[in-house]
Structures are given as C-alpha cells and as structure tokens.
C-alpha cells in the first residue's frame, strides 16, 4: 500500500519512476506502461545491482515493522515456490508436542485478469474496472486490456479471469474462452449494445434480448439480491452498505435457462446478474455496462466492493491456509481445482478432473488414498506435515498440509471449579453447601424459593390426573349401561 501510493504520487508530479520489487513486471501493469520495472529482492544484493543507475533519487519503502512484546518478528524470507515447509520450535515445558508449530509458506501471487473490449473502443471504456481492481490488496489483481477480435491462446496462459466488456467476440476467441472456462477459469460478461457471440454460445447464461430503456422513469434499481451467494453475503448487514442508490437507465433483457442461477434482478423483475457453471469454471453475465454509459454504478462507493467480490468469486480465489488444526478433515477438491485452472491436470467434458486421486502420507508415514474410488476425505489426526501427491500432475511437488494441536490445549492454567462443573453437567451447578456456581450472589434460601414452585406444580399435576381418571371411569360406566340395555331390548 505504501509503495503503490508513493509511485502514484510521483507519477502525478511528473517524475519518471523505476520500480524495484520481486514481481515488478506484474506490479507495474497497474500504471499502464508509465513505470519501468526492475525485478529484484533487497535480500539478494546481486538482483538489485545497477537498479538505481541513472536515477536522481532513491526512495526506500521496504522494512520489517517491529511488533511489541510478546510477539516476535522474524527476518524476511524469500519464498520462490508454493507450499514450502516451515516450523517454529520454542520452549521446554512438560508438553513437548506443543513446543512445535508447523506451517507452510507460499509466495503472494496476484490474480491475473484479461479485459477484452471492442476493437473500436478506447482504453477509457475499461478504466473504471481496471482502477478498482488495482486498488485491491487481498487478493491483488493485475489487469491487461486487449482487443476482443485478436486474442491468442498465449494471452490466456496464467489467467484466472477474463472480462468481456461489451465486445463482440470472433468465433476463435469464443472457442478459446469456452475451453478456458471448462479448465476452471472465470468469465464476466458485461452486456451492452453488442452481443458477445451467437445465441448458441454455451457460455451465455440464457437467451439475450433487446435493450430496455428506463430513462423516462429516472432509471431502475436493484430489486432482488441473492444474499446466499458468496458475492453478496457480506452485505446481508445493511451497515456494510447497500445498492439501493444505483440507477440503471438501460439494460439488456436476458432469459436464463432453468439450470442458470439468477444472482440479482432489477425492480421490474428483469435479470441483472446471472451465473452459469461450465465445466470447472464460472460465468456471470451482467445485463448492463460497467463503464457508466448505461448506469451510474461506477460513481457509487459500492461499485468497488461489488467488482472485487465478483472478480474474486469468478477467479475462485481462496486465501491460502498456512495450517490446519488436529481433528479437521482434508478434502483434495481445492488443490485439484487449482491444478486444473493452471493447466497442470486435465478435465473431462463435465469439468471434473480425470483420475482425481491423491495419496496422503501422514507425519507417521501412514498412506491413505483419496478421490475417485477411494475415501473422499481423511481425518487430520496427527501433528506435523501431511504430504499429498496428486495423480495426473506430473512431477509437481507434493501438496503440503501443516497440522497443529489446538492452541487451547497449550493453556496449562488451572480450570476454575465452576467452569469444570458447568461443562461436565451441561448447565448450572449447586454445591453440597447450597451455593449456586452460576450465580454466586444467590443464597441457599433464594435457591430454595426458586425451587419451591415446582412442588406446587407437581401437586397440581397429580390432582388433575386423579380428577381425569375419576371422570373417565364414570363416563365409561354410563355408556356401557345404555349400550347393554339397548342390546338386551333388541334380543327380546
């Protein structure tokens, strides 16, 4: 955040900027070729040699923030591969297992986004989107803008998300995007005047119709949002913001297929956001524009979090978990899906990974098979590193899972008797002396008064039961006499 803000301010003041960072080329894209990248690491002197040649000044914004005790700050470590094992050993108390803490490290990589716009459009038509994505820090997004009619397979390598910004796609590009989504990629369709492809394009979630003009009515608003979707669940609480003030002057009609999922509708019931699953990937169509030409959405503060959530959901981004807790279950679906998106494992026509299997080795050396034809999950019952080797991934390094004991088990403090008794009995407890452990301020006399009412209720219940028995006996005798007399008369 500090470095990005510094570069932006230097550019605003007219300076020429050279950026030194581990991922300088990716980072520099947010300034659209106005920054010269130089990849290097301050912990590697050879990589930064000559980085400042020809510069008039150097601004150093790299450092380790000192934390207050009892936290400990470690020196910076450069991680070049994913899932690198790491551990911390400290202490010599009577619980040696708790003296070790295991975790895995992975380098922070941005989510790569490709924005496709019509050949005749200028870069300003995507400036709102590229700007808001550039402001995200968790995850970071890097965006490139390209013409929709000249997309090559190489431009999709390493991408997690493609945005089609009111663009007409060539048949070749449409086929490339279909394969991209089947492998696990995400596509966001902003539907304006142009149809992205033919009506039979499998990525279009529904049948596209003519535009609806709401300008005479000062525009429409969102009338329905699916708060069960990960895109909108954060906004269930109105304090996190709402979308009521966005006005939509124009939008396309879109009739979803029965298998499509409508995420949002306008106040007249027309579909606004529709999702379709294709293979391992996701497609969401937005029936208006993202450049502000058909609505005022980019002028509202909720535009930024909405675009962030949409991009994160479509890219299937999950924050890497550094460690798990003993007792959790291990599911290989997440790492397998990541391999499919990276092209390191194949997917069938249904999008499922062919031969999605794995062999899990526990810290003690025990092997367990997971996936098709084997157990779906495995219990993480030991502390240490579980090594997961995925089939169909070539010579890829095993996927490492660090497992630690529950930190609560490291607390050696004595448990208060009240807490122990409450946990053992499932509720409040009274000592043999008559004192309430839940409410120590109550005297034995107060407790007795609270319990006395139950004696009256018990007596009242017994009286009601006795009265009901007497009444039922009398009624049954009377009914039996009448029936007998009637029956006897008929026999006579």
pLDDT at 413: 73
Residues 193 and 208: their CA atoms lie apart, in Å, by 11
Nearest one of 48, 50, 187, 184 to 115, comparing CA atoms: 187
Of 104-118, 216-230, 383-397, 432-446, least confident by mean pLDDT is: 432-446
Of 26-40, 101-115, 226-240, 450-464, least confident by mean pLDDT is: 450-464
What average pLDDT score do residues 252-268 get? 95
Per-residue pLDDT band for 8 (boundaries 50, 70, 90) equals confident
pLDDT at 488 over 50: no
pLDDT at 484: 40
- What's the first-to-final CA gap in the chain, in angstroms? 107
Residues 191 and 187: their CA atoms lie apart, in Å, by 12
Residues 305 and 46: their CA atoms lie apart, in Å, by 40
Per-residue pLDDT band for 470 (boundaries 50, 70, 90) equals confident
Nearest one of 94, 134, 132 to 112, comparing CA atoms: 134
The answer to whether the beta carbons of residues 180 and 156 sit under 8 Å apart is: yes
Residue 96: phi, psi to the nearest 5?
A: -65, -30
pLDDT at 298 over 50: yes
pLDDT at 468: 87
The answer to whether the beta carbons of residues 101 and 404 sit under 8 Å apart is: yes
Q: Report the 10 Å Cβ neighbour count for 315.
A: 24
To 10 degrees, what angle do helices 127-134 and 303-314 make? 80
The answer to whether the beta carbons of residues 116 and 148 sit under 8 Å apart is: yes
What average pLDDT score do residues 346-361 get? 56
pLDDT at 350: 41
How do 377-379 and 329-331 pair as beta strands?
antiparallel
Residues 380 and 255: their CA atoms lie apart, in Å, by 46
Q: CB-based contacts of 22: which residues, under 8 Å, 6+ apart?
A: 39, 40, 41, 78, 107
Mean pLDDT of the chain: 81
Specify the DSSP class assigned to residue 195: -
Residues 160 and 152: their CA atoms lie apart, in Å, by 16
pLDDT at 240: 84
pLDDT at 145: 93
pLDDT at 354 over 70: no
Residues 28 and 105: their CA atoms lie apart, in Å, by 24
Q: Is residue 183 packed enough to be buried (19+ CB in 10 Å), middle (13-18) or exposed (0-12)?
A: buried
What average pLDDT score do residues 476-484 get? 52
Nearest one of 244, 331, 337 to 282, comparing CA atoms: 337
Any idea where the domains of the chain sit in the sequence?
Answer: 2-78, 111-314, 324-407
Render pLDDT for 316-347 as a digit per residue (tens, 0 to 9).
888 778 889 998 888 766 666 665 555 554 44
pLDDT at 349: 41
pLDDT at 63: 59
pLDDT at 444: 63
Residues 54 and 479: their CA atoms lie apart, in Å, by 115
Q: Extract the tokens encoding 50.
A: 């000559």
Q: Extract the tokens encoding 343.
A: 């092209």
Render pLDDT for 404-441 as a digit per residue (tens, 0 to 9).
988 776 666 777 776 776 666 555 555 555 555 555 55
What average pLDDT score do residues 176-198 get? 93
Q: Extract the tokens encoding 258.
A: 């029965």
The answer to whether the beta carbons of residues 315 and 180 sit under 8 Å apart is: no
Residues 291 and 284: their CA atoms lie apart, in Å, by 17
pLDDT at 109: 78
| Yes or no: domain 324-407 corresponds to CATH 1.10.3470 | no
What average pLDDT score do residues 176-189 get? 93
Nearest one of 13, 18, 11 to 55, comparing CA atoms: 18
* Number of helices and strands in the chain (H, E): 10, 21
pLDDT at 161: 95
Specify the DSSP class assigned to residue 394: T
Instruction: Please state which architecture CATH assigns to domain 111-314.
Output: 3-Layer(aba) Sandwich (3.40)
């Amino acid at each position: 955040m500090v470095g990005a803000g510094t570069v932006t301010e230097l550019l605003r003041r007219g300076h020429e900027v050279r950026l030194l960072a581990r991922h300088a080329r990716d980072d520099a894209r947010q300034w659209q070729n106005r920054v010269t990248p130089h990849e290097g690491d301050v912990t590697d002197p050879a990589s930064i040699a000559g980085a400042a040649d020809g510069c008039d000044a150097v601004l150093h914004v790299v450092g380790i923030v000192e934390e207050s005790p009892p936290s400990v700050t470690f020196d910076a470590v450069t991680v070049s591969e994913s899932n690198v094992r790491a551990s911390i050993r400290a202490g010599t108390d009577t619980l040696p297992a708790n003296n070790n803490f295991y975790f895995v490290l992975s380098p922070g990589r941005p989510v790569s986004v490709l924005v496709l716009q019509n050949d005749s459009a200028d870069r300003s038509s995507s400036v709102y989107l590229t700007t808001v994505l550039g402001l995200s820090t968790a995850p970071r997004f890097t965006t490139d803008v390209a013409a929709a009619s000249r997309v090559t397979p190489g431009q999709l390598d390493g991408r997690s998300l493609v945005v089609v910004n009111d663009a007409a796609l060539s048949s070749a590009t449409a086929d490339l995007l279909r394969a991209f989504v089947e492998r696990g990629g995400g596509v966001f369709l902003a539907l304006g005047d142009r149809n992205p492809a033919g009506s039979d394009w499998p990525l279009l979630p529904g049948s596209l119709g003519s535009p609806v003009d709401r300008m005479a009515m000062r525009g429409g608003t969102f009338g329905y949002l699916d708060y069960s979707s990960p895109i909108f669940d954060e906004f269930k609480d109105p304090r996190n913001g709402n979308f009521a003030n966005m006005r939509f002057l124009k939008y396309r009609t879109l009739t979803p297929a029965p298998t499509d999922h409508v995420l949002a509708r306008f106040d007249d019931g027309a579909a606004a956001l529709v999702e379709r699953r294709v293979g391992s990937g996701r497609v969401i169509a937005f029936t208006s524009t993202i450049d502000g030409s058909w609505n005022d959405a980019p002028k509202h503060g909720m535009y930024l979090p909405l675009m962030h959530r949409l991009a994160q959901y479509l890219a299937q981004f999950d924050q890497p978990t550094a460690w798990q807790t003993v007792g959790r279950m291990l599911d290989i679906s997440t790492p397998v899906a990541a391999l499919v998106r990276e092209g390191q494992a194949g997917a069938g026509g249904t999008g499922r990974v062919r031969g999605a299997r794995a062999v899990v080795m526990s810290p003690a050396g025990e092997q367990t098979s997971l996936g098709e034809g084997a157990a779906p999950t495995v219990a993480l019952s030991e502390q240490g590193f579980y090594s997961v080797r995925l089939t169909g991934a070539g010579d890829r390094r095993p996927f490492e899972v660090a497992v630690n004991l529950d930190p609560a088990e490291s607390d050696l403090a004595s448990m208060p008797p009240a807490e122990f008794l409450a946990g053992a009995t499932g509720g409040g407890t009274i000592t043999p002396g008559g004192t309430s452990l839940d409410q120590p301020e109550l005297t034995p006399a107060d407790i007795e008064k609270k319990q006395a009412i139950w004696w009256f209720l018990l007596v009242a219940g017994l009286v009601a039961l006795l009265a009901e028995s007497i009444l039922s006996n009398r009624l049954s005798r009377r009914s039996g006499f009448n029936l007998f007399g009637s029956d006897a008369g008929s026999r006579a």
